[in-house]
A and B are shown apart, each in its own frame.
Chain A
Amino acid sequence: MRLRAGPVLGALLAAALLAAIGLATRWGWTAGEDPRALVRLTWKIRGERVEECREPTEEELAERPPHMRRERVCEGRVVPYALSVEIDGRTAVTDIVHGAGAREDRPIAVHREIPVTPGEHAVRIRFEALGGESPDALSLERTLRLGPREVAVVTWDPDRRSLVARTP
């Protein structure tokens, strides 16, 4: 039986399309040529909260329904924290971090990524409350050894109640 060209070519075209789909579904993407390592700071803490309380005026009380009238009205916010990171004695990050939300009354979240060359690095991190009755301070001093494209994650450990570093 003689094969007609049309169906044969059609089958070849279908095979080529499937091969293209097969290649496209496992396309090798070079995600990062940069051989540097990374120090990643990522944590969330409740933060030191300060409140300012006062007694509401008669007008303010009158505006509220009876079940929502309070003797004292307190507005609070999380105090800002100062973040400083030194790597091998040089300042890498200096920043003021505020509480989240429009009123700065939500927990403080930190997320910073600092590229470093592969190798050993002395890392010194300090995260200190600016203000408040008993200023909070988190710190970490460690020597991190990182290979190319490795990540050291500095995060808050709730069990130890301190910053810890996780490396590969």
Chain B
Amino acid sequence: MSGLSEALAETAWGVLRRADAAMNRLYGWRYNPLYQSGALTLVLLAVVTVTGLYLLIFYRIGEPYESVARITDQAWAGRWIRSLHRYASDAAVVAIAVHAFRMFAQRRSWGARTLAWVSGVVLLGIVLVLGWTGYVMVWDVQAHALAVEGARLLDALPIFSEPLVRTFAAGEPPSGQFFFLNLFLHIAVPIGLGLALWIHVSRLARPVLVPPRRLWVAVVGALVAVSVLWPISMAAQADPLRLPREIPIDLFYSFWLPAARALPAWATWAIGAAATAILLAVPLWARPARQRRGAASSVDERLCTGCVQCSLDCPYEAIEMLERSDGRAELVARVEPARCTSCGICAGSCAPMGVGPPERTGRDQLRRIREGLGSEEGPAAGEVVVVACGRGLGAGIESIDGAPVHRVSCAGTVHTSVVEHLLRADARGVLVLACPPRDCWNREGPRWTEQRLFHDREAELHDRVEKRRVRFAFIAGGDLRTARVELGAFRTALASLERGEPLAGVDAVRECDPAEPKEVIRS
């Protein structure tokens, strides 16, 4: 099983890398929607909520089909808002699927992330239930099919004393009580959605809930455009006295109807239960073999100065500061192993190098650099050294256009002493290639490293280091072309520097502006 799951995850990661690289070329890493799948889901659900509130004003439980038909007949607002409600709901399912695939491919579904994965599966289930109750509200032929097949499935369970399917098969529409209950569920279930979402992000520090403005404006604008140009029309009204030959269904929410109609109820239940069990059990069957699971970070309390930086930097709130009892500095860091994903970002945050996963603390990083420099494989003097994320561009790459690649588990783990040491060892320059911020497997690694290198975030790169010999770039995994361009530009800038020419290609914003840059300005 471990081999199969590993092969699955590797294949998924390969697909994801190629998709990310392609989308970065189309949209740039800042606006790549694949990186923002989680936040985009929230935006889409917000659109669904707002449009739903409008539709609620005009919906009547006593005449469900007729009231929706009146909404659809409203030129301008009603028809478009109903269409936007539908399209945003469908797009939300797409975004959820992309998000889940991404988390699986990046192996962010087990260990400390188990709660997020399981709550995510629950969230998907809630969204599907919301979709079903929403479609039943219309009481067209699709709604009737959903209600009948759903009732048939429930009747297979030894719960109800009479067949539920009778409610929808007696020759007359269900009573207003049924539509009231359905409407109540459709409105009340989002409360469960909010609770599940809170749990979903509860173990994240600083969860990103909103994508960049340009992106969500573009997404919402595109949905509005398709709602106006291709509005949803009314299907035929539900009629228990006729068996429609063709029913227009929404594949995102009614995908199970053909199977439920064709198979006995027990088979449909078995397939659904198996699929749910497989999804919920991903944290078990998709986790790496024991020897490949990273161990939690630990703190060397002799070195810890209680500066709280590791606690601040930890993306998973796995480090807490406790009071000391030995009369030294007030606080000491302590890692909660159950929350630690072994990302190693804490190692890069600690000036005295007192915290980090085994074999990846700041001291371990320096030791490896020194060993590398002393070996034949180490960088020769006068070469640019590329420090690259092993989960991003650095995966499987030993050099780029003659520049050796020093692979790290995450750009966020890089201790600034490593950069300084490379330059002292006569490296011509150090180019740090990190994954785009929203693609980082550990969420905040690239952001913290950039701030440590150029904006005095602890553990900052010392002023004694010539920062013009250090460059930082966001490069998606697999995007070797952009990496070569970045390396070429860096080499050109270094050549100008060495000739004593005006500072061509210098990142003036990073040099002069202590605030976090929004755009990289090249002079």
Binding site for B on A (CB under 8 A): 6-7, 9-10, 13-15, 17-18, 21-22, 24-33, 38, 40, 42, 44, 100-101, 106-107, 109, 111, 149-153, 155, 166-168
Besides A107-B162, A150-B242, 16 other CB < 8 A contacts?
Answer: A6-B27, A6-B28, A7-B26, A10-B26, A18-B87, A18-B223, A18-B226, A24-B251, A24-B252, A29-B248, A42-B166, A109-B162, A109-B163, A149-B243, A152-B241, A168-B242
Q: List 8 A-B contacts (CB under 8 A).
A: A24-B250, A29-B254, A40-B169, A100-B161, A106-B161, A151-B241, A153-B170, A166-B171
A31-B243, A149-B243 known; A22 vs B26 contact (CB < 8 Å): no
CB distance from B338 to the nearest CB of A (A): 39
> What's the Cα separation between A32 and B148 when bound, in Å?
14
Residue of A nearest to B172 (CB): A166
Q: In the complex, A143→B502 CA distance in Å?
A: 100
Question: In whole angstroms, what is the CA distance A24 to B94 when docked?
Answer: 11
B376 close to A (CB within 8 Å): no
The residue of chain A having its C-beta at the shortest distance from the C-beta of B24 within the complex is A6
Residues of A within 8 Å of B245, CB to CB, are 30-33, 149
**Contact in complex: B170, A6 (CB < 8 Å):** no
Q: A18-B222, A149-B244 are in contact. Are A42 and B26 (CB under 8 A)?
A: no
Q: In the assembly, what is the distance between CA of A19 and CA of B225, in Å?
A: 11
Q: Are A150 and B169 interface neighbours, CB within 8 A?
A: no
CB of B505 within 8 Å of the partner chain = no
B130 to chain A, nearest CB (A): 15
Supposing A42-B170, A44-B162, A167-B241 touch, asked if A31 and B250 sit within 8 A by C-beta, the answer is no
User: Does B295 have its Cβ within 8 Å of any Cβ on chain A?
Assistant: no
Q: Is the CB of B241 within 8 A of A25?
A: no
Judging by beta carbons under 8 Å apart, are B243 and A150 in contact? Answer: yes
- Using CB atoms and an 8 Å cutoff, list the residues of chain B in contact with chain A: 25-28, 86-87, 90-91, 94, 145, 161-163, 165-166, 169-171, 218, 222-223, 225-226, 230, 232, 239-252, 254, 257-258, 261
The 8 tightest CB contacts between A and B, nearest first, are A153-B171, A109-B162, A10-B26, A100-B161, A166-B171, A149-B243, A24-B251, A111-B163
CB distance from A20 to the nearest CB of B (A): 9
Pick from A22, A31, A38: contact of B226, CB under 8 Å: A22
A155 proximity list for chain B (CB < 8 A): 170-171
Contact for B166 among A22, A27, A44, A168, CB less than 8 A? A44
CA distance A28 to B249 in the complex (A): 6
CA distance in complex: A133, B162 (Å)? 25
Task: State which of A13, A21, A107, A111 has its C-beta within 8 Å of the C-beta of B90.
Answer: A21
Q: Knowing A10-B26, A27-B248, A111-B166 are in contact, say whether A151-B222 is a contact too (CB < 8 A).
A: no
Q: Please determine whether A26 and B248 come into contact, CB atoms closer than 8 angstroms.
A: yes
Say yes or no: B25 contacts A22, CB within 8 Å.
no
Contacts of B169 in A (CB 8 A): 40, 42, 111, 153
Q: Which residue of A lies closest to B230 (CB)?
A: A22
Partner of B250, one of A6, A26, A109: A26
CB distance from B477 to the nearest CB of A (A): 19
Q: Name A111's closest neighbour in chain B (CB-CB).
A: B163
Once bound together, how far apart are the Cα atoms of A17 and B232, in whole Å? Answer: 17
List the A side residues contacting B250 at CB < 8 Å: 24-27
Which residues on the B side are within 8 Å of A153 (C-beta)? Answer: 169-171, 240-241
Q: Are B232 and A25 in contact (CB under 8 A)?
A: yes
Q: Which residues of A contact B247 (CB under 8 A)?
A: 28-29, 31
Q: Which residue of the partner chain B has the closest CB to A99?
A: B161
In the bound complex, residues from chain A placing their C-beta under 8 Å from that of B226 are 18, 21-22
- B171 near A29 with CB under 8 A, answer no
Q: Are A151 and B243 CB-contacts (below 8 A) given A26-B232, A29-B258, A109-B162?
A: yes
How distant is the Cα of A24 from the Cα of B86 in the complex, in angstroms? 11
> Min CB distance, B225 to chain A, in Å?
8
| A25-B251, A29-B257, A155-B171 known; A14 vs B243 contact (CB < 8 Å) | no
- Chain B residue at minimum C-beta to C-beta distance from A18: B226
**A residues in contact with B248, CB < 8 Å:** 26-29
CB-nearest residue of chain A relative to B218?
A14
List residues of chain B with CB within 8 A of the CB of A24: 90, 250-252
C-alpha spacing A26/B232, complex, angstroms: 8
For A7, the chain B residues whose CB sits under 8 A away are: 26
Q: For the complex, give the distance between the alpha carbons of A27 and B242 in Å.
A: 20
Docked-complex contact A25 and B86, CB < 8 angstroms: yes
Complex: A38 Cα to B27 Cα, angstroms: 55
> Among B90, B239, B243, B254, which residue has the most Cβ atoms of chain A within 10 A?
B243
Closest to B141 in A: A31
Contacts of B218 in A (CB 8 A): 14
**B166 with A109: CB separation less than 8 A:** yes
Contact yes or no, A38 B166, CB < 8 A: no
Taking the closest CB of chain A, its distance from the CB of B461, in whole angstroms, is: 33
Closest to A150 in B: B242
Q: Which residues of B contact A15 (CB under 8 A)?
A: 222
Cα–Cα distance between A149 and B245 once the two chains are bound (Å): 8
Given that A26-B248, A27-B248, A30-B246 are known contacts, is A21 also in contact with B94, CB under 8 Å in the complex?
yes
C-alpha spacing A165/B170, complex, angstroms: 10
Chain B contacts for A149, CB-based, 8 A: 242-245
**Complex: chain B residue closest to A156, CB-CB:** B170
The distance in angstroms between the C-alpha atoms of A138 and B339, with both chains bound, is 67
Give CA–CA (A15, B219) in the complex, Å.
11
A22 to B90, CA, bound (A): 9
In the complex, the answer to whether B249 meets A6 with C-beta atoms within 8 Å is no
B91's partner among A21, A30, A101 (CB-CB below 8 A) is A21
Interchain CA distance A109-B167 in the complex, whole Å: 12
Complex Cα gap A27–B225 (Å) = 20
B residues within 8 A CB of A14?
218, 222
CB < 8 Å neighbour of A31 from B27, B87, B91, B244: B244
Question: Whose C-beta in chain A lies nearest to the C-beta of B142?
Answer: A29
Provide the bound-state CA to CA distance between A22 and B230, in Å: 8
For A13, the chain B residues whose CB sits under 8 A away are 26
Do A25 and B90 have beta carbons less than 8 Å apart?
yes
Question: How far is B222's CA from A38's CA once the two chains are assembled, in angstroms?
Answer: 45
For A10, give its contact among B27, B165, B230 (CB under 8 Å).
Answer: B27
